[in-house]
Amino acid sequence: MPEVSIFTQRFEVRGRDFTSAGRASTAVKEILKEIGIPPATVRRAAIAAYEAEMNVVLYARRGTLELQVSPAEIRLLVQDEGDGIPDIELAMQEGYSTASEEIREMGFGAGMGLPNIRKNSDEFRIESVVGQGTALDIRIRL
Amino acid sequence: MGEELRSVRVEAERCRGRMACLRACPTEAIRVRNGRAAILEDRCIDCGECVRACPNGAIQPLTESFRDFARFRYTVALPSPALYGQFRREILPGAILRALTRIGFDDASDLAWAGEAVSVAIDEYLAEYRGPLPLISPFCPAVVRLVQARFPALVDQLVPIDSPMEIAAREVKLHKAAHLGLRIEEIGVIYVTPCPAKIVAVEFPPRKRVSYLDGAIAIADLYQPLLAALARESEPVGEVQTVHGLGLAWPVLGGQAACLRTEDTLAVGGLREVARILEDVENGKLSELQYLECHACPQGCCSGPLTVDNPYFARSKILHLVSRYGRQPSRDREQIRALYRQGYFALPGRFPPQPFPPLDTDIPRAIEKRSRMKEILEALPRIDCGACGAPTCRSFAEDVVQGRAALEDCAVLTAEQARRHRHTALAEGIQR
Ligand code: SF4
Ligand code: SF4
């Protein structure tokens, strides 16, 4: 069987750190462009990565975002340590948000994050344990 | 890309390898090899930052001189309104246009009116546009190249409307030809440019076969002769009826946006800031904005790399002119709208995406190279010292993977460390 090459890189994301928010997704985008992923696919991955990163920044203490690129797909694995999501089905609805007033005032937390990730991915899995954290598995086919 | 010429070149005899350009270039297009700067052509977007940065004047724009215009029977200078901000406050556009005719042009024509007309056309386009927002201004050629190269997914958000300089050049040409009884090709319309990017736009007009402009000459190159001509005038303060208020604001940051009907605009200057905003747009943000005005130069064209005066002072002088000439529209809006509907302002085709070349055209191989690049980068000190001749450790790692540099070129990594990396599997990969 021919060996499949996979590129992997993991980024740390700090909760509530708005000055570096967006860095991981910018780096993800940069790497995808260097690899020569078609622009439209990069844009989908960019939106998914950005929303996922912002979810960590807004709602968790810390987390990691791991990018995997294989010839078949782009995969984003996001794990955070945070409050978790009690009702995932509800959270997946557009406009549903538990963001605090403070976060909304900064222009975030409009409740589009998770639905946006789903819209821009081909496969999307989410698991969450209340009081512990949330894990996202996002796949975009190439 | 490829066959297109780039607008700047390094004069090797003048280059002392001082690396100012290396850090200034926003696209990491410069390398210093054997003490001399070299430009990686397919990464250059003509912004001219390197021209600005070089302490030895070794990076020169490819502008023309009067000798090149001898082929025309009649020449008309069409200055960027940025030129109006380059002289003493009391010197008005009329005097500057007249001075242009004293230093060698047969005539000189103002193009601020075209900025105003183009603004109306943008209003019309915005009103009927239904695609993703914000729309992005296409008038700074360096920004257009940046979008094509680094944000190719956004090319269709560039407004497909021709630039004021092209609109004005077309009018001037047709008018002069009829008036003087000359053939179109006997008239040379020469842009007086604040930057190298516009030179490329004249040579390779976006989305069109030919430009109505026949050449470009740098503001900086005309500055001395213009000063002398202005000093000789007994009456240096000239009012010219054909210079209009609204479009005069175009060369300052925010000037385009201010001419539009919508207030959902944002003006951004400086390529690094422009890139940051475009990152946001690419991430799906800022869609509440209608129009994003982007300039490669921090204060807009009045601070172009081929201008002379202090950018802030130039800006203030342009704003002074705007208030002096008033903000009243100078043309009948309805007439401009009718022209818009006839396609007078339209750019044919689309802006093609032209991404920077990837690590490899074959995706599996590109993935492998990117993995090697990451390993190399992790071994490097990541202090971006520049001693290797690349602007950052990241770009050096890329050069190594692409065979453009050797790991030993790193001044910080000891010979021993470099050797060790060579013997790992990773190094085998590099040699392949
Ligand atoms: S013109 Fe701009 S992009 Fe080109 S080499 Fe100079 S600084 Fe870099
Ligand atoms: S902002 Fe104006 S002067 Fe500067 S590069 Fe762009 S078009 Fe040229």
Whether residue B82 contacts residue B304, with contact meaning beta carbons closer than 8 Å, is answered with: yes
Prediction pTM value: 0.90
The domains of chain A are located at: 7-141
So what's the pLDDT on residue A111? 62
Given the cut 0.85, state whether the ipTM is greater than it: yes
Closest chain A C-alpha to B281 CA, distance in angstroms = 10
* CATH 1.10.10.10 for the B358-432 domain, yes or no: no
Give whole-number Cα distances, B120 to B80, B246, B335, in Å: 19, 11, 10
CA distance B142 to B65: 23
Residues with Cβ within 8 Å of residue B252, at least 6 apart in sequence = B299, B300, B301, B302, B315, B318, B319
Which residues in chain B touch residue A33, judged by CB atoms under 8 angstroms apart?
Answer: 150, 355-356, 358
Which residues in chain A touch residue B153, judged by CB atoms under 8 angstroms apart?
Answer: 39-40, 42-43
For residue B8 and ligand 1, the question of a CB distance below 6 A is answered with yes
So what's the pLDDT on residue A11? 96
Interchain CB contact of A57 with B (< 8 Å)? no
Asked, colleague to colleague, whether B1-61 and B358-432 share their fold, the answer is: no
So what's the pLDDT on residue B241? 57
| pLDDT greater at residue B286 or residue A109 | B286
What average pLDDT does this structure show over A29-46? Answer: 95
CA distance A66 to A80: 12
> If one looks up domain A7-141 in CATH, what number appears?
3.30.565.10
Which residue ranges in chain B fall short of pLDDT 70?
A: 1-5, 234-242, 244-245, 326, 415-416, 418-419, 421-432
Compute the mean pLDDT over every residue in chain A, rounded to the nearest whole number.
89
So what's the pLDDT on residue A32? 97
pLDDT in tens, B86-126: 999 999 898 999 999 999 999 999 999 899 999 999 999 99
Rounded percentage of chain B residues whose pLDDT exceeds 70: 92
- Token duo for residue B241: 């009826």
Q: Give the closest residue (by CA) to ligand 1 atom 8.
A: B25
The domains of chain B are located at: 1-61, 66-341, 358-432
Multiple choice CATH, B1-61, 3.30.9.10, 3.90.1300.10, 3.30.70.20, 3.40.228.10: 3.30.70.20
So what's the pLDDT on residue B239? 54
Q: Give the closest residue (by CA) to ligand 1 atom 4.
A: B44
So what's the pLDDT on residue A4? 74
| A50 has a pLDDT exceeding 80 | yes
Q: Give the closest residue (by CA) to ligand 1 atom 7.
A: B25
The band of A21, judged by pLDDT with boundaries at 50, 70 and 90, is confident
| pLDDT greater at residue A98 or residue A128 | A128
Which residues in chain B touch residue A31, judged by CB atoms under 8 angstroms apart?
Answer: 370
Whether residue A12 contacts residue A27, with contact meaning beta carbons closer than 8 Å, is answered with: no
